[in-house]
């Protein structure tokens, strides 16, 4: 696994995209429903407890947290979504921040979408994926908490999610992951390496739902 991710450090939290660093270099963003395990994934990839603590700090969970990997590369922790009891105004604010970020950020190379593999593709996930499709943004889906599924259920879940994504024209890849057990870390880092322009070999462990993967 690349040392790059272990060198990640927290730069700032932004309430608004205007507060982000200059739009240059390469950014990869992580997003997911609240409780899907986004903080745990960040923690696992960077092997840094401090990083996940930042993205769990009350008040910062609704902000865009920026982590620096090197002069050219940043990892962006987008606010979680899908809180059941959040007021409508907060939901709209989330939508606006994330939509503006996804739509306008030129250095955004790809989006990692974290889902709980036991209930993937909830309504907000699908809305987000449609938005990425519209913008032509590459997406990598992590079906996290795969330690909770039997091998059969995991395979079926992959199959179901893959077939549900057939209509999308943007580049989408999917993998099983477990932040808790460290399953799938190598595959995820392979995808990140590719987006960050680091030398990497394509991983055969990834499923691509679309036969036109990589051409759109």
Ligand X SMILES: Nc1nc2c(ncn2[C@@H]2O[C@H](COP(=O)(O)OP(=O)(O)O)[C@@H](O)[C@H]2O)c(=O)[nH]1
State residue 125 phi and psi, 5-degree precision.
-60, -45
Q: Which of residues 38-67 bind ligand X (CB under 6 A)?
A: 38-40, 56
40 touches Mg ion by CB under 5 A = no
Judged by DSSP in three states, 207 sits in strand
Residue number, 63 or 176, with CB nearest to Mg ion: 63
Q: Which of residues 19-38 bind ligand X (CB under 6 A)?
A: 32, 34-38
How is the beta sheet containing 73-77 ordered, strand by strand? 9-14, 64-68, 73-77, 26-32, 108-116, 138-144, 172-176
157 touches Mg ion by CB under 5 A = no
Q: Which of residues 94-133 bind ligand X (CB under 6 A)?
A: none
Residue number, 36 or 69, with CB nearest to ligand X: 36
Sign of CA dihedral 21, 23, 24, 29: positive
Interface residue with ligand X, options 8, 26, 75, 80 (CB under 6 A): 80
Q: Report the distance separating Cα 33 and Cα 15, nearest Å.
A: 18
Judged by DSSP in three states, 201 sits in coil
Residue number, 26 or 36, with CB nearest to ligand X: 36
Q: Report the distance separating Cα 45 and Cα 156, nearest Å.
A: 26
Residue number, 8 or 26, with CB nearest to ligand X: 8
Q: Which of residues 46-65 bind Mg ion (CB under 5 A)?
A: 55-56
- From 2-10, 64-72, 89-97, 172-180, give the range in contact with ligand X by CB under 6 A: 172-180
Residue with tokens 């395990």: 37
Which parts of this chain interact with ligand X (CB under 6 A)? 32, 34-40, 56, 80, 144-145, 147-148, 178-180
């Amino acid at each position: 696994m690349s040392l790059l991710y272990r060198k990640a450090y927290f730069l700032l939290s932004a309430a608004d995209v205007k507060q982000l660093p200059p739009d240059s270099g390469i950014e990869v963003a992580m997003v997911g429903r609240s409780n899907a395990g986004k903080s745990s994934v960040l923690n696992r990839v960077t092997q840094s407890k401090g990083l996940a603590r930042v993205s769990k700090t009350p008040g910062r969970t609704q902000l865009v947290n920026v982590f620096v990997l090197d002069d050219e590369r940043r990892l962006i922790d987008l606010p979680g979504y899908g809180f059941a009891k959040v007021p409508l105004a907060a939901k709209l604010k989330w939508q606006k921040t994330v939509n503006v970020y996804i739509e306008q950020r030129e250095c955004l190379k790809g989006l990692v979408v974290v889902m709980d593999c036991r209930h993937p593709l909830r309504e907000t996930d699908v809305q987000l994926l449609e938005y990425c499709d519209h913008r032509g943004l590459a997406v990598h889906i992590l079906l996290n908490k795969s330690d909770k599924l039997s091998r059969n259920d995991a395979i079926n879940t992959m199959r179901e999610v893959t077939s549900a994504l057939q209509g999308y024209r943007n580049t989408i890849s999917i993998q099983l992951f477990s932040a808790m057990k460290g399953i799938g870390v190598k595959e995820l880092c392979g995808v990140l390496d590719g987006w960050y322009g680091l030398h990497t070999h394509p991983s055969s462990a990834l499923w691509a739902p679309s036969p036109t993967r990589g051409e759109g």
